[in-house]
Amino acid sequence: MRIGFLADASIEQLEWAKQNGFGSISWMAFARSFAAPGKECWREDAEHFAAEAKARSIRISAIGALYQNPLDPAQTDYARAVFHRAIDVAALIGVRNVAGFAGAVIELETSDRGGNTVYKPLENFLPRVVEFWQPIAKYAADKGVRLAFEHCPQGHYHLPIMHYNILGQPAMWERFFDAMNCDNVGIEWDASHLMCQFIDPVANIHKFGSRIFHVHAKDAFINRPLLETYGICHPGVAEHRWPGFGQANWAEIIHALLRAGYDSDLNLEGWHDPVLRDHGEASRQAGQKLERQGLLLAKRWLEQFVPAEAASWK
């Protein structure tokens, strides 16, 4: 288990990671990278990037293929092509996990009993979700690659309200896994998305640990006085933060992950932090400096709970 962060596929990011003692990255923004569908030299460029990472002892623990809604008819063909290419790249350069959103089918009822237009429950469309993902999962399995789906609800107030991710609530995880019947399908896990739904992250690991393939290390803070005054659906009640600045018990989380046999890394995701991030008000350089300070502080916090690992490349 190494500590890393979410990064685009740039040498500058790899060099900064090495200079600051990080051991991994999650390759994000894949669909806009040099290896995306339509790029002619994707094999050569992907191998070059992997070699640069290995030269710096940085592990690429996941490729973040696409964080949109693959079940939106306008995106389906594009999403399929992106995930196929990400799987090809992962197999080529030895990355075990390809990640993204499972998506959801969004349809409207004609009306409810009061004549109001309402959304149909996402679980109604589980067969159509499975129909899309099963062939992709088989394609990945044939190449020795796992699919790790992030469970961010993509709804208001960090909740599964009007969202587009069928896996935004753990109640759907088991149903999805059972319907998929694919051992290489799991979760890109994030404590903050559970905490914002008042779910205990450690208990969640104990239940789903074998299906956790990749981890976004992000914390959350629940403002109890605000919650008790205005309720859960109010701005500021639940906010995402860097690890160490929220309320997650990272000692227990890491202990539970190790006990469950987790075999990947902790990649920090902190640009949601209300303080240590680029607010868009300062220069890009100043904003990047704030976020990198957050990265370093979060790394320092997590390091006390992560067993030391050999420096050699694995």
Task: Write down the domain spans for the chain.
Answer: 3-219+248-271
Separation between Cα atoms, residue 67 and residue 70, nearest integer Å: 9
Mean pLDDT confidence for 166-192:
97
Which of the four CATH numbers 3.20.20.150, 3.30.70.1430, 3.10.105.10, 3.30.230.70 does domain 3-219+248-271 have? 3.20.20.150
Q: Mean pLDDT across the chain, nearest whole number?
A: 92
Burial of 225 (0-12, 13-18, 19+ CB in 10 A): exposed
Which pLDDT tens digit goes with each residue over 210-267?
999 999 999 999 999 999 999 999 999 999 999 999 999 999 999 999 999 999 999 9
- Which range, of 81-85, 92-96, 112-116, 254-258, averages the lowest pLDDT? 112-116
Is the model's pLDDT at 115 over the cut of 80? no
C-alpha 184: how far from chain center: 16
Cα atoms in the Cβ-side hemisphere of radius 13 Å centred on 301 = 22
pTM of the model: 0.93
Would you state the pLDDT for residue 312? Answer: 36
Separation between Cα atoms, residue 40 and residue 196, nearest integer Å: 42
Burial of 25 (0-12, 13-18, 19+ CB in 10 A): buried
